[in-house]
Amino acid sequence: MKTAIVTGGAKGIGAAIVKRLISDGYKVALCYNNSEKEANMLCAELGANCRAYKLDITNSKAVNEIFTDIENNFGEISVLVNNAGIAEQSLFTDITDEMWHKMIETNLSGAFYCCRAVLPYMIHRKIGKIVNISSIWGEIGGSCEVHYSAAKAGLIGMTKALAKEVGLSGITVNSVSPGVIFTDMTSHFDEDTMNELKSETPLNRIGTPEDVAGVVAFLVSTDADFITGQDLAVNGGMC
């Protein structure tokens, strides 16, 4: 049975990915930072093949320690899904140094730390799948979300570059860029805003976490063995 790590796996898109991978026959190490209750409830629901690990992905030392524990005591790591992230709306001129560094450290550096920690295991075995969860704003930019857009665009760039570097080791690296998805990150939008976003989407609906989870499940499957360095948009046609 293959083992997958999913960061930010306690809620929203991450939880949907965890559930889908469990249903596809994986053991899943669910990494969370603040959502301990949700993480433990999800693992209790999914059974022994799901195990929760508290992890601050901005702490590279902690990432190394937790990933070593997972590799040694839960199963050989075959899949890494970098889903953990934060979002924030702010005028560009109101973005402080602290806000900027926190956004980059969480959404980009955290994924870097996780990739760096898992790759020695994957390279040694000459097999592995990495999927980074970016965003439509990383592709096209979002007004009042410049720091978020920059971090997510960086994640796409890292994906494409890393895919070229580790391809000869049999490892694929891809990213998924969701559009507007029903999650905690969109819960602050009022009904009028959500309806406007819906009308801007050619499929005329807001996406679900399961829409994203299905694409991730494909990318980590053998059906996607010849796909790497790609960014797949899951946005209902919004561009």
Strand partners for 6: 30, 81
- Spatial CA neighbour of 68 closest among 117, 22, 20, 129: 117
Phi, psi values for residue 160, rounded to 5°:
-65, -40
Task: Reply yes or no on whether 121 is catalytic.
Answer: no
193 within domain boundaries: yes
In CATH, what number is assigned to the domain containing residue 110? 3.40.50.720
- Whether 105 is in a domain gets the answer yes
Three-state DSSP class for residue 6:
strand
Q: How large a percentage of the chain has pLDDT more than 90?
A: 90
Classify residue 7: in a domain, yes or no: yes
The dihedral sign for the CA sequence 194, 200, 203, 208: negative
pLDDT, tens digit, for every residue of 122-150?
Answer: 999 999 999 999 999 999 999 999 999 99
Over residues 3-15, the mean pLDDT reads 98
pLDDT at position 182 is 85
Interval 25-51: pLDDT, tens = 999 999 999 999 999 999 999 999 999
Q: Is residue 239 part of a domain?
A: no
What is the average per-residue pLDDT within 43-72? 98
pLDDT value at residue 163:
98
| Domain contains 208 | yes
pLDDT band at 239 (very low <50, low <70, confident <90, very high): confident
Tokens 């075995």 label which residue? 125
Q: Is 238 among the domain residues?
A: no
pLDDT value of position 200: 87
Give residue 172's pLDDT: 98
Going by pLDDT thresholds of 50, 70 and 90, the confidence category of residue 212 is: very high
Residue 189 is predicted with a pLDDT of 75
Query: What pLDDT, on a 0 to 100 scale, did the predictor assign at position 227?
Result: 98
Strands (E), the chain: 3-7, 27-32, 50-54, 77-82, 128-133, 171-178, 231-234
pLDDT at 46: 98
| Segment 75-96, tens digit of pLDDT | 999 999 999 999 999 999 999 9
Question: What are the pLDDT digits (tens) for 148-168?
Answer: 999 999 999 999 999 999 999
How many domains does the chain divide into? 1
* Two structure tokens written together for 64: 């190394």
Question: So what's the pLDDT on residue 179?
Answer: 95
Whether residue 180 is contained in a domain is answered as yes
Give pTM, 2 decimals: 0.96
Rg (CA), the chain: 17
The mean pLDDT value of the chain amounts to: 96
CA distance 114 to 109: 9
The mean per-residue pLDDT over the stretch 182-208 comes to 83
Q: Name the DSSP letter for residue 131.
A: E
Q: Which domain holds residue 12?
A: 3-233
pLDDT of 226 strictly over 80: yes
43-59: burial string, b at 16+ Cβ within 10 Å, e else:
beebeebbbbbebbbbe
| pLDDT confidence bin for 194, thresholds 50/70/90 | confident
Res 188 pLDDT > 80: no
